[in-house]
Structure 1
Amino acid sequence: MAFGGNPVFRGKNFRSAVTTAPPVPHAPYGQQPYGQQNPYGQQSPYGQPYGQQAPYGQMSPEQLDQMYKAPSAGPVETGRMTYDDVIMKTLACLGFVVVGAAVTLFVPAGAAMGLMVLGAIGGFVLALVNSFKREPVAGLILAYAALEGLFLGGITRVIDGIAPGVGFQAVLGTVAVAGVTLALYKSGKVRATPGLMKFFLIAIVGYLAFSLVNLGLVMFGVVSSPWGLRGMTIMGIPLGVIVGLIAVVLAAISLILDFNSIEQGVRAGAPRRFAWTAAFGLTVTLVWLYTEILRLLAIFNSND
């Protein structure tokens, strides 16, 4: 079973929840699973525990026919993760991101910078905490989303001051890339194959190495451009645009792998609480995608 390149889905806790989840029982809807005692301990008039079917040998043909026609218990009744759970919890996380971003977009500039730094540090810390916790905690995941919103709102405010309209374009770009990626995945045109996973892991290591080197050059003043090596041009094209496009493609691949991990979790009957883990993983990828598109647009506009 292949899990996403996102460390949230590759982590031990989510993998364990998916691979060790017991099969979903198929007792008739509204009835106790076979062999399970009725919590009220009541007896039926026929000597069987209330809510349970009599042994097959003692059941009438009408009772057997009714039992086999009854719908099976679904994921909701058995406490399993569903796509609706993941969607609703992801929307909740994105809602907290939007609220956090709105705060830094509308407070005074000085306060916005302080909140942006708080969001960057706090979001990084909570990302690590949520990634390694044995059980997902909704409050911590929503707190991460709010802190990331503070950071994204602050950085958007800074860049939008240099190139007006870039923030709105980045939002549209993120929605477009995520929507197209989901549509392609659902259509079956792109799948999370082992080859795609291998390519992603190799490419992301190279991208992270480049980013760390670039950050070091900027911090120590080796290069004068605020974008570092990204500000260089190759055949008239800023290196940052080329790297940014590669990063957007990698983020889209990460979404494909995330969708595959969620699909595997739903099929395996992972416990319902891990829908929060899935929502957290998607939020991490979408935040990364938005950041890369925002930076790509900023570099592109600064070289017009």
Structure 2
Amino acid sequence: MRSGNPALKPSTFLDLGTGALVGSPDRTMTLNGTVHRTAILLILLAGAAIWPWTRFFANPETMNPLPFLVAGGLGGFIVAMVTIFKKSWAPYTAPVYAVLEGLFIGTISAVFEARYPGIVIQAVGLTFGTLAALLMAYRSGLIRATENFKLGIVAATGAIALLYLVNIVARLLGFSGLGFIHESGTIGILFSLFVVGIAALNLVLDFDFIEQGVEQRAPKYMEWYGAFGLLVTLVWLYLEMLRLLSKLSRR
């Protein structure tokens, strides 16, 4: 099994010490349980996002978004790394991750909304519409996560991550970076469309990985871990939707 999502790797459902599947028959991962945990995380994320959103629009001239962006973005990254390396902590760290990402998402959404009115509701609608469409396509068998499909998506995801990393390092060193990532010209929009497509297809890999975990009788806490992994992809997809829509608005 492969997944472009770093939270969901081939070894996720294996006992790290023996390489054997873990989990007793009465305490194993279920699909319904994972769905319920995902809903809980989404509610926590949305609830946390409301705070910086309302503060921003209540006092747009005085509210400083930077603390929320740093606390949410950096804090969420740290908690995500802890969760990836300590999967058994997921019932506790996944909700914390959702709240921290909510602070980040709420702040950056408010900034985009102030500049491009109406963009947030469009991005939210497109994100969940994509989730629903791909879930139906996956469940109906229209899209199958074959090994070649997985390999292609993982490779594309890694290439995107490398491009973003190079761009960040270049900017930190005082260079202009990779301009096409941010520009609203044809190349910039095509790049964003490509990234949105890859982020969306990562959802298919996540569905497949969670289904494999259920079939392999992963331990109960993996419901939280599976929900966490899915949330990571949804956050990425939403942010890329915002980026794409903002480019289209600038045109």
TM-score by length of 2: 0.89
Q: Deviation per CA, 1:225-251, whole angstroms, max 9, x where unpaired?
A: xx8332446xx51x3211111111111
Ranges of 4+ aligned residues in structure 1 off by more than 4 Å = none
Q: Deviation per CA, 1:240-298, whole angstroms, max 9, x where unpaired?
A: 21111111111122111111111111112212221011011011010111011011111
Separation in structure 2 between the aligned mates of residue 128 and residue 182 of structure 1, nearest angstrom = 27
Alignment size in residue pairs: 244
Give unmatched runs, 5+ long, in structure 2: none
User: 1:89: which partner in 2?
Assistant: 37
Displacement of 1:218 = 3.8
Which has more radius of gyration? 1
Give unmatched runs, 5+ long, in structure 1: 25-77
Letter in 2 for 1:10: K
Tell me the C-alpha RMSD between the 2 structures.
2.2
Does residue 153 in structure 1 map to residue 154 in structure 2? Answer: no
Contact 2:87 2:222 in 1 (8 A): no
Aligned equivalent of 1:244, options 180, 188, 192: 192
Contact 1:218 1:228 in 2 (8 A): no
Aligned equivalent of 2:227, options 265, 270, 279: 279
Greater RCO (Cα-Cα under 8 Å, separation 6 or more)? 2
**2:89 aligned counterpart, secondary structure:** coil
Displacement of 1:140 = 1.4
Using a 3 Å threshold, how does the CA distance of structure 1 residues 90 and 245 change in structure 2: closer, same or farther?
same
Does residue 210 in structure 1 map to residue 163 in structure 2? Answer: yes
User: 1:8: which partner in 2?
Assistant: 7
Separation in structure 1 between the aligned mates of residue 111 and residue 23 of structure 2, nearest angstrom = 50
User: 1:253: which partner in 2?
Assistant: 201
Separation in structure 2 between the aligned mates of residue 231 and residue 4 of structure 1, nearest angstrom = 27
Letter in 2 for 1:282: L
Displacement of 1:172 = 0.4
Q: Deviation per CA, 1:176-209, whole angstroms, max 9, x where unpaired?
A: 1111110110011111111011111221222112
Using a 3 Å threshold, how does the CA distance of structure 1 residues 111 and 20 change in structure 2: closer, same or farther?
same
Q: Which moved more, 1:14-23 or 1:277-286?
A: 14-23
Higher helix share: 2
Separation in structure 1 between the aligned mates of residue 166 and residue 2 of structure 2, nearest angstrom = 29
Separation in structure 2 between the aligned mates of residue 15 and residue 4 of structure 1, nearest angstrom = 15
User: 1:99: which partner in 2?
Assistant: 47
Using a 3 Å threshold, how does the CA distance of structure 1 residues 166 and 84 change in structure 2: closer, same or farther?
same
Contact 1:11 1:131 in 2 (8 A): no
